[in-house]
Structure 1
Amino acid sequence: MEFDLQNPLENFHDLPYDSVPPLFFIESDQNPSPNYFHKLIASDSDISIRRSVISIISQKTCTFDPVLTYLAINYLDRYIANQGILQSKPWANKLLAISCFSLAAKMLKTEFSATDVEALLNQGDGGVIFETQTIQRMEAIVLGALQWRMRSITPFSFFPFFINLFTINDPALIQVLKDRASEIILKSQREIKVLEFKPSIIAASALLSASHELFPFQYPSFLRAISDCSYVNKESMQQCYNVIPDIAMEEYESVFNVKSSSETPINVLDQNFLSFESEKTNNAALMQGKELNKRRRITDYGPALNSACCEMEKGR
C-alpha cells in the first residue's frame, strides 16, 4: 500500500476523522524523543552535521515532491536520535543523505527506481561516488535505527482531525488552508527549535498560523476549537505557536502578492467566509486585515493564545 503522510497507518484513510485520536497516543513512538532536541542544541558540531546532511538532501532533490524531501529528513532525525552521529566526514554525511532519501523514495513508491535515485544523488558535485552495495548497507543501518518503522507519523497526519474542528465546508477553502499550513511545516522542518514539539502540536500551530493569514475573521473561532481539544497540550502549543511565525513570516509576502487582482487567494477566501456581510464592509475589513498582518508579527498573538489556553556500523 502506498504511503501517504496524511494516512500513516494502513487502512487509515477508511477511518472516520474521530478515529484519529489513537495517533496522539503513538506519535511519540515514531518520532525523536524530546531529548534529541536538547542533545542537538548542546552540540554545535551535531547541529552543523545535521544542517550539512539536510543541505545535501535539499540541493540534490529540489526537483522532487517536497513531501519526499520531508520524509527523508524525518528519517534523518529519527536516525540521529537513535544512533547518534558516528562520523563527521563529508563522505559520511553524503552517504547518510543518499540513504535517507533513497528509503523515502521507496516508501512513497515514486516513479524513480533505486538506480535513478542513486544516479541523481551521486552526480554533479565531483565528490565520492558510492556503489549500490554501500548505499544498501547504509540503508540497513538506518532501517535498524528506525526499527523498521517507516510509516512515520508527521504533522500532516493530524490535518484531517484538526480541520474537522473548523467551520469550513468548502473543499476549495480547506485545500487552500492545508496548502499554506503544509508550506509552513515543510519550511519549519529545518529549524532545530521545532524538533522540541510533537507532530500534533506542530500541525495545530501551523494550521492556526495559516488560518490567521488566510481567514483573519474566522481565526478566533479556529483558535478556540483547537484550544478546547483535549488531546492538545495547551502550554506546548503556545510555545510552538510562538516559534512558527518566524518561519511563516519569511514567505509572508508570497501569500499576498501572488496577484494584485480581486481574485487573489485572500480575496476569494474572505469573500466566501464573509458573504453574510455587505460588500463594502467586507472589502474594508479585508484591507484592514491585510494591513494589520503586514505590520504585525504573529508572535504578538501569544497573549491571545495564552488566554484561550489558560486552562556506520557501531551499535549494530
Structure 2
Amino acid sequence: MAPPYALDALFCPEEHWEDQEQEQQQQQRYTNLTNEDLFWENDELISLLAREKPNELFQIIQTNSSLAAARRAAVEWMLNVITHYSFSALTAVLAVDYFDKFLSFFHFQTDKPWMFHLAAVACLSLAAKVEETHVPLLLDLQVEVSRYLFEAKTIKKMELLVLSTLQWRMNPVTPFSFVDHMSRRLGFKDHICREIHWWCERTILSVILESDFMSFLPSVMATATMLHVFKAMEPHLDVEYDYQLLNILKLDKGNVEECCKLISDASRRNSHQFKKRKFGSVPSSPNGVMDVSFSSDSSNDSWSVASSVSSSPDPLTKKNRALDQCFVDIPR
C-alpha cells in the first residue's frame, strides 16, 4: 500500500479553485504602474486641470430660453449628421464645444435661426477635420433635413470666423480627456479601458443635448460619468472607486453627486431620441478593435472608439447585460 502522503499528492484542493480564478480575473483587470508611469501621469493630470475651463455660455442661456432652444436644435442636428457618417464621439464633443464657445462670443439674433445653423455646420466641419480620417464635402455634410442649405464658400467664411474667435485653439480639454487618464490611473488594462471608454461615450452622447451639464467642468463630468458607468457595471462598484476618483482629482463630492443625478435623469429622458442614433457598433474581434479606431496626432484626446474585446473573460465584460439595461440599445 502506498503511504498516505503519496495518495494525498493526487488530490487537488478544490475549495481554492474559485479563489484562484477570482485572483486571476483581478490580475487580468489591472496592470501595474511604475513610479515613472505615475510621474508622467501626474504631469498630464496637472496639465489637464490647468487647461480645463467653465462653459461661459451657460450663464447666458439661463436667462435666454430662445437661445437655449436654438442651441438644442443645432446640437441635435450635428448629432444626426455625426450618426449619418459614423463619426467618433470625440468629434461630437468637439463640435459642441466649438459651437458653445463661439456663441458665448457672438450673440446672434434669435429671429435669424439660419445664423445658428450656419455656425453649427462650420463647427461640425472643423471638428471632423480635426478628428476624422475621411471628411465629406461641405455640401455633402448637410445631409440631414434642414430649412437651410449653404454654399461651400459661405461655410468656409464662417469656419474662418470660428477659428479666429477661438484663437485657433482646437484641442480643448473634454470629459474624454479625463476618462482616458483616469482609466489608466486606476490601473485598468487596455481592453478594460476601451470598454469603460465606450460606455462613457454612450453616456455623454445621450446627455450632450442638455444645457444643464454646461455648468460642470470636464473633470466633474468625466468623474460623474465614470461612476454612473461603474454603478451600471456592478452594484457598489461605484462606491469602490468613488473615493479614488475624488481623491486623485481633488473634486467636491457634492458637485459630482449632483452631476451624477443629472446624468441618470437625462439618460432616461433622452433615451428615445438616442435610441435612433447609431454611433458605431462594437467590434467582435481584436482585429475589429483596430478597424474602428480613430486617432489624430493633432489631438491629445484621441482614443479608440470601441468596446473592449478580450480573449480571456473578466468581471467587467460580464456586466454588459446590466449596462444594456441602463442605456438604450445600440446594435453591436
Structure 1 CA distance, aligned partners of 2:42 and 2:271?
33
% identical aligned pairs: 23
Offset of residue 165 of structure 1: 4.2
Q: Residue type of the partner of 2:104?
A: A
Cα separation, partners in 2 of 1:217 and 1:125, compared to 1, 3 Å: closer
Structure 1: 5+ residue stretches without partners: 1-14, 255-264, 275-282, 296-316
User: Quick one: which of 91, 94, 102 aligns to 1:68?
Assistant: 91
Q: Which moved more, 1:176-185 or 1:66-75?
A: 66-75
Task: Give the TM-score, by structure 2 length.
Answer: 0.65
| Structure 2 equivalent of residue 133 of structure 1 | 153
| Structure 2 equivalent of residue 85 of structure 1 | 108
Q: Does 1:272 align with 2:292?
A: no
Q: Residue type of the partner of 2:151?
A: E
What secondary structure, in the 3-state scheme, does the structure 2 residue paired with 1:32 have?
A: coil
User: Quick one: which of 243, 264, 283 aligns to 1:224?
Assistant: 243
User: Quick one: which of 63, 69, 77 aligns to 1:56?
Assistant: 77
Cα separation, partners in 2 of 1:19 and 1:219, compared to 1, 3 Å: same
| Structure 1 equivalent of residue 22 of structure 2 | none
Structure 2: 5+ residue stretches without partners: 1-38, 276-306, 327-332
| Structure 2 equivalent of residue 242 of structure 1 | 261
Asked if the contact 2:58/2:211 (under 8 Å) is kept, the reply is yes
| Structure 1 equivalent of residue 231 of structure 2 | 212
Q: Residue type of the partner of 1:62?
A: T
Asked if the contact 1:24/1:231 (under 8 Å) is kept, the reply is no
Larger-gyration structure (1/2): 2
Q: Does 1:119 align with 2:139?
A: yes
Offset of residue 236 of structure 1: 2.1
Asked if the contact 2:94/2:127 (under 8 Å) is kept, the reply is yes
Cα separation, partners in 2 of 1:124 and 1:195, compared to 1, 3 Å: closer
| Structure 2 equivalent of residue 17 of structure 1 | 41
Offset of residue 87 of structure 1: 5.1
Offset of residue 48 of structure 1: 1.2
Structure 1 CA distance, aligned partners of 2:146 and 2:202?
32
| Structure 2 equivalent of residue 101 of structure 1 | 124
Cα separation, partners in 2 of 1:124 and 1:199, compared to 1, 3 Å: closer
Offset of residue 40 of structure 1: 0.5
Cα separation, partners in 2 of 1:59 and 1:159, compared to 1, 3 Å: closer
| Structure 2 equivalent of residue 190 of structure 1 | 209
Structure 1 CA distance, aligned partners of 2:205 and 2:145?
25
Structure 1 CA distance, aligned partners of 2:256 and 2:236?
21
Cα separation, partners in 2 of 1:54 and 1:294, compared to 1, 3 Å: closer
Cα separation, partners in 2 of 1:164 and 1:216, compared to 1, 3 Å: farther
Q: Which moved more, 1:240-249 or 1:46-55?
A: 240-249
Cα separation, partners in 2 of 1:70 and 1:234, compared to 1, 3 Å: same
| Structure 1 equivalent of residue 7 of structure 2 | none
Structure 2 CA distance, aligned partners of 1:126 and 1:185?
25
User: Quick one: which of 220, 232, 251 aligns to 1:201?
Assistant: 220
Q: Which moved more, 1:123-132 or 1:86-95?
A: 123-132
Task: Give the TM-score, by structure 1 length.
Answer: 0.68
Structure 1 CA distance, aligned partners of 2:245 and 2:262?
17
| Cα deviation 1:14-44 (Å, max 9, x = unaligned) | x93222222101111xx523xx212212111
Offset of residue 228 of structure 1: 1.9
Measured on the aligned residues, the alpha-carbon RMSD in Å equals 3.5
Asked if the contact 2:227/2:238 (under 8 Å) is kept, the reply is yes
Structure 2 CA distance, aligned partners of 1:83 and 1:251?
32
Offset of residue 215 of structure 1: 3.0
What secondary structure, in the 3-state scheme, does the structure 1 residue paired with 2:168 have?
A: coil
Cα separation, partners in 2 of 1:227 and 1:164, compared to 1, 3 Å: same
Q: Residue type of the partner of 2:194?
A: Q
Alignment of 1:295-310 (within 5 A): none
| Structure 1 equivalent of residue 28 of structure 2 | none
Structure 2 CA distance, aligned partners of 1:123 and 1:177?
31
Asked if the contact 1:17/1:160 (under 8 Å) is kept, the reply is no
Structure 2 CA distance, aligned partners of 1:162 and 1:136?
37
Offset of residue 212 of structure 1: 0.7
Asked if the contact 1:153/1:199 (under 8 Å) is kept, the reply is yes
Offset of residue 61 of structure 1: 3.1
| Cα deviation 1:288-307 (Å, max 9, x = unaligned) | x96xx979xxxxxxxxxxxx
| Structure 2 equivalent of residue 158 of structure 1 | 178
| Cα deviation 1:94-136 (Å, max 9, x = unaligned) | 2112111111122124312xxx331223456474432222111
Asked if the contact 1:18/1:161 (under 8 Å) is kept, the reply is no
